[in-house]
Amino acid sequence: MRKLVIYIPSIESGGVEKNLFYISNHLAQNNIDVYIVTANKNKKNFFNDKIKFICPNSSRWNSSSRIIKTLICLGLIITKFPLKNILIFSFQSNVSAILLSKLFSLKIIIRLNTSTNKYINSFIKRFFFKTVYSMSDVIIVNSLEFKKNLKKNLKLNSVQIFNPIKAKNTNKRLKINYFTNFNGIKILSIGRLTDQKDQITILKSLKILRKNQINFKFYLIGTGYKLNSLKQYVKDQQLTAHVKFAGYKSNAQEYIGSSDLFVLSSKYEGLPNVLIEAQLQNVPIISSNCSTGPKEILLNGKLGNLFKVGNYTSLSEMIINFSKDKKNFLDKAKSAKKYLYRFDYKKNLSKYQNIINKIL
C-alpha cells in the first residue's frame, strides 16, 4: 500500500496550517498511512499520534528561510523513503515537490492556498507555472472563484474543496481586556503582519475615523515583518490610544466574539478562514474584495460588506455607517448562519479522503 507523504517544509501560523492539521489528522484517523515531512520540529504536537513526523533532529531549522527548509525536506524524502509506493500531497513549495515527483515517477496532489494573482504577473511566469502545475495528478483549490481563475489564466482543471471549519472551536470566547468598559466601536482584525494582509489600509481608515470623532478601539492579532512600520505609522498619526498590537495568539478565533466588527484588508487570499469564523460568531464583517475568497464567503456583499483593495476611504465610510446604524450590518451577520453548511467539517474532509483513496 502506498504511504501518503504530506509535504510542507515550513509550518507557520495561519489558515493554511489550520487546514493542514484538520486534513492530516482526519486522514490518519481513517486508516491512511500518513507521514508529515517538514523542517519544523516544534510543530509535532499538533498532529495525531498515528501520524509519522519526519523532520530534522535539530530544532535550529525552525526559524530558517523557506528555501532552506524546502531543500532540507527534499533531502528527507529522498533519504527516508524508498522512492516508490508513496503519494506526495504538497501543501507548500509545490514546484519543488512536483519536480521531485516527476524525477522519481511518483504520484502527486498539490493544494494551492493563495490566489495565483500573488505571483503570476507575466507571460514567462504564466508559462512556467502552467507547465509545472500541469505535471501534478490532482490540483486542489479552496474556492470556486479560485477554480475559475485557474482555468481562465492557466487553462488548468482543478478540484474545489472548501476549507473545513470546526464550529465547536468557537464555543469558547475569550475576553479582550483592551475592550473592557469601552462603549465605542470594538474593531478586530487577525492576520500575519505582511504586505499581503495590508493592515496599513485599516490604519489609514482609522485616521479618518479619528478626524470624524468616531469613538473606536482597534485590536490587531498577528506578528510579521511589517510590525515596526505599522507601529511607526500609528505613532506618527497619533493613533496610539486607539490601536493595540496584540501579537500572535494560538487561539485567535476565540477572541472574535468580543468585538463589534471584524475587518479583513488582504490584497489576495485563498479562502480566509477568519471570515468564516467571524460568521460562526455572528460578528459583522467588512472585507476587501480581494482575489480570492471574501466575495464568495460573503455572497457578493449579501452577508457582509466589501470594499476595493486598498481603498481606505471606502473602508472608513463603511465603519462610520456602522457607527450610525448597526442594524443592516447585524442582519447580514445573522443571515450568514444559513450558508455555513458550505464549510461543513466532515463533508469537506471526506472529499479529501475520497480523492486520496482513489489514488492510493
Pairing status of strand 261-264 against strand 185-190: parallel
139 and 253 fall within a common domain: no
Q: Which amino acid would we find at residue 268?
A: Y
pLDDT for 171 equals 58
Q: What is the pTM of this model?
A: 0.90
Q: Which of 268, 270, 187, 306 is nearest to 18 (CA)?
A: 270
Residues 99 and 206 reside in one and the same domain: no
Choose the weakest-confidence range: 61-70, 103-112, 166-175: 166-175
Report pLDDT for 45: 84
Q: Structural domain of residue 52, as residue ranges?
A: 3-164+344-359
Residue 345: how many CB atoms within 10 A of its CB? 16
Could you report how far apart the first and last alpha carbons of the chain are, in Å? 7
Number of domains in the chain: 2
Domain identity same for 337 and 201: yes
Are 160 and 176 found together in one domain? no
Residues 187 and 222 in one domain: yes
pLDDT tens-digit series, residues 88-143:
999 999 999 999 999 999 999 999 988 888 888 899 999 999 999 999 999 999 99
**Average pLDDT of the residues of the chain:** 93
Summarize pLDDT for 291-349 with one digit per residue, the tens: 899 999 999 999 999 999 999 999 999 999 999 999 999 999 999 999 999 999 999 99
Residues 66 and 18 in one domain: yes
Q: Taking the CA atoms of 297, 301, 303 and 307 in sequence, report the sign of the dihedral they define.
A: positive
How are beta strands 34-37 and 3-7 bridged, if at all? parallel
CA–CA distance, 83 with 58 (Å, rounded to integer): 24
Q: Do 21 and 116 sit in the same domain of this protein?
A: yes
Residues 113 and 10 in one domain: yes
- pLDDT of residue 3 exceeding 80, the answer is yes
Q: What is the mean pLDDT of residues 171-182?
A: 86
Q: 196 with 270: CB under 8 angstroms?
A: no
CA atoms of 54 and 237, how far apart (whole Å): 48
Residue matched to cell numbers 511589517:
226
Residue 151 shares a structural domain with residue 54 = yes
Q: What is the pLDDT of residues 188-239, one digit of tens each?
A: 999 999 999 999 999 999 999 999 999 999 999 999 999 999 999 999 999 9
41 pLDDT band (50/70/90 cuts)? confident
Whether residues 29 and 96 fall in one domain: yes
* Same-domain check for residues 214 and 269: yes
pLDDT exceeds cutoff 70 at 258: yes
The model's confidence at residue 169, banded by pLDDT at 50, 70 and 90, is low
Cβ neighbours for 148, distance < 8 A, ≥ 6 positions apart: none
Residue 253 maps to which CATH number? Answer: 3.40.50.2000
Highest mean pLDDT among 58-62, 170-174, 208-212: 208-212
DSSP H helical ranges for 219-298:
227-236, 273-280, 294-297
Q: DSSP assignment of 25-77, as one string?
A: HHHHTTT--EEEE-S-GGGGGGS-TTSEEE--S-GGGTTS-HHHHHHHHHHHH
Ramachandran class of 58: left when φ > 0, alpha when ψ lies in -120 to 50, beta otherwise: beta
Same domain assignment for residues 155 and 264: no
CA–CA distances in Å: residue 250 to residues 134, 170, 242, 246, 322 = 36, 13, 24, 12, 29
Q: Look at the chain and count its residues.
A: 360
Alpha carbon of 257 to those of 155, 262, 303: distances in Å? 41, 9, 17
